[in-house]
Each structure stands twice: as C-alpha cells, then as structure tokens.
Amino acid sequence: MKKYLYTFLIVIILIGSLLLINNLGIVSFREWGENIIKSTPFVKDYVRTDQEYEK
C-alpha cells in the first residue's frame, strides 16, 4: 500500500513541477511541441504557421 502511495505522490510532484516550469516560462512545452511537429516531414505540409492564418 505504501508503494502505491509513494508512486502516486512522485507522479503528482513531477506533473506539478512540469506545470510550474512551463507557467514560469523557463521551458515552453508549446514551442517544443511545435518544433517537433514542424520538423516531421509528412506532417509539416498540413500545419499552418501564424502568418498563414493571418492571411
């Protein structure tokens, strides 16, 4: 029972710290994800940039 509690607490702490890092602007997971999508050859043809949406 303690093993599950410790695992749950570790997961909650990890998720909380990732959210904190993202909200403080230390690491932007949105930019990171956009860079991965843009670098994928078969997906980048279907992804629009902000400039394309404005046109």
Instruction: Give the pTM.
Output: 0.59
Domain that holds residue 36: 2-54
Q: What is the DSSP string of the chain?
A: -HHHHHHHHHHHHHHHHHHHHHHTTSS-HHHHHHHHHHH-TTTTTTPPPHHHHH-
pLDDT string in tens for the chain (55-residue length): 899 999 999 999 999 999 999 999 898 888 888 888 878 877 767 776 666 666 6
Number of domain units in the chain: 1
